[in-house]
Amino acid sequence: MTSALTIHVVGVGMGPQHVTPEAAAALGEAAYVVAARKRDDDPLLAVRRELAAAHGLEVVEVDDPPRDRSEHRDASSYDGAVRDWHDARARAWGSAVAGREGDPAFLVWGDPALYDSTIRVVDRVAADLGARTRVVAGISAPQLLAARHGVVLHEVGRPVHVTTQRRQAEAVEQGQRNLVVMLTSGVRLDGLDDWSIWWGANLGARGERLVSGRVGDVREALERARAEAETDAGWVMDLYLLRGPA
């Protein structure tokens, strides 16, 4: 009796140096890697190829469906655009997997459980194909940020609020004073000059940059470092810890 297809969703941190033994074992069980191609010269696809080659795996490249990234929308229209994108991704990924021999693996930056849609999309593909999903945790960006700066993400006995840059202002207005901010698109810190920031870009990868200090004192350094990271690597993924004044 043929065993059911298993789709591996594997967190790989920021590259080969962050692949855990568990992740390596999952890749050892996979037959190939499915990777989204966002553009012809996608530099992050090159890192996926490097990871796959290290484990002897072929890379099946899939053109990533376009996504509506308009910023000035209400929550319902934003959520709808994301759902449409997930639907398109599920169709594209399902077509890549259907009829191909062996179990596929999807490589996820950081950890699959934190601000990443791969599990949701793969679950749809698995349901259509009668497959099962196996998820392997990875080293997350907030973990790397804290380690690089040598800090704890929260104050003693206090919470940390993890959110997106899109919802940063909302969180501050609601009284959050200790935030990890992800999915950024530039430096947006208006009205927060007296807050403290620990910022990092391309952590553990080419173009890594770190900046910390009082927001009002390091704003220009942040903008310069972000531009340098993108120039150095050809891409930039950054995040930061924000802490309000005592």
Co-location of 189 and 99 in the same domain:
no
Angle at 7 between CA 4 and CA 102, to 5 degrees: 65
Contacts of the segment 36-42: beta carbons below 8 A, 24+ positions apart: 36/61, 36/62, 36/63, 36/64, 36/89, 37/61, 37/62, 37/63, 37/64, 38/64, 41/234
Co-location of 16 and 83 in the same domain:
yes
Let me know if residue 1 belongs to a domain.
no
CATH number of the domain bearing residue 160: 3.30.950.10
Please count the structural domains in the chain.
2
130: phi > 0 → left, psi -120 to 50 → alpha, else beta; which? left
What digits encode the pLDDT tens for the residues 145-170? Answer: 999 999 999 999 999 999 999 999 99
Local structure of 181: helix, strand or coil: strand
| Contact between 110 and 116 (Cβ < 8 Å) | yes
Co-location of 32 and 107 in the same domain:
yes
Q: Provide the residue-wise pLDDT of the chain in tens; the chain has 246 residues.
A: 346 899 999 999 988 889 999 999 999 999 999 998 887 778 888 888 999 999 999 999 999 887 765 655 565 667 788 888 888 999 999 999 998 999 999 999 999 999 999 999 999 999 999 999 999 999 999 999 999 999 999 999 999 999 999 999 999 999 999 999 999 998 889 999 999 999 999 999 889 999 999 999 999 999 999 999 999 998 899 999 999 997
Strands 238-243 and 178-182: antiparallel
Last residue of a domain, one of 83, 108, 136: 136
Give the chain's end-to-end CA distance (angstroms, integer): 64
Co-location of 117 and 165 in the same domain:
no
Local structure of 131: helix, strand or coil: coil
Residue 126 — φ and ψ, nearest 5°?
A: -60, -40
The two tokens of residue 69 are 């990234």
Q: Give the C-alpha distances (Å, rounded to integers) separating 25 from 29, 55, 105.
A: 7, 10, 12
Structural domain that includes position 216: 141-243
Co-location of 160 and 113 in the same domain:
no
